[in-house]
Amino acid sequence: MTALGLVQVIQQQPYAVAISRSPWLFPFFETVHVLALTLVVGSVAMMDLRLLGVGHRDRRVSELMGSMLPWTWSAFAVAATCGLLLFSSRAVTYYENIPFRIKMCCLGLAALNMLIFHAIIERDIATWDEGTPPLGARVAGGLSLLLWITIVATGRWIGFTT
């Protein structure tokens, strides 16, 4: 099955048809999507600013991450679930939409950047947990901030191009 064939099947699912025909389901899921993503992007931005050495300098990086990450992951689960429901209602339109494709690519790159940070850069965090982090951590923080700003901007742009 082609990717286009798959999104056509998704769009014909009963829940997807129900969301597309309902006067309130799409706005409801989009509202929850926006509320959840503000918590995702807000908590990620706090951690990235700490990695850049410009925010929360009085807190150890590991302590800040320990208190933020549970919020980030819970809010991400809610944002992604609502995003998939919104997507299903007009799957073919979104699949062919350039801002949507850029947003999904940036989500993938943000995940890759996070994986490299946690798997490699964070390994010797004990040597830089207080004060200004090393270059690798600052680059990871800066890249993450740039990617999440792009995700929000392209997410907003979708509505103007569909």
Q: Interface residues with ligand HEM (CB under 6 A)?
A: 30, 33-34, 37, 40-41, 76, 79-80, 83-84, 86-87, 94, 151-152, 155-156, 158-159, 162
Neighbours of 21 (CB within 10 A): 10
| Alpha helices per DSSP H over the chain | 3-11, 14-21, 25-51, 61-89, 91-95, 98-119, 135-158
Two structure tokens written together for 17: 């048809």
Find all residues with CB under 8 Å of 112, minimum gap 6, and list them.
none
- In terms of CB distance, is 71 or 128 closer to ligand HEM? 71
Decide whether 86 or 133 has the Cβ nearer to ligand HEM. Answer: 86
Q: How far is the CB of 15 from ligand HEM (least distance, A)?
A: 14
Tell me how far, at minimum, the Cβ of 109 lies from ligand HEM, in Å: 12
Tokens of 128: 């830089």
Q: How far is the CB of 97 from ligand HEM (least distance, A)?
A: 9
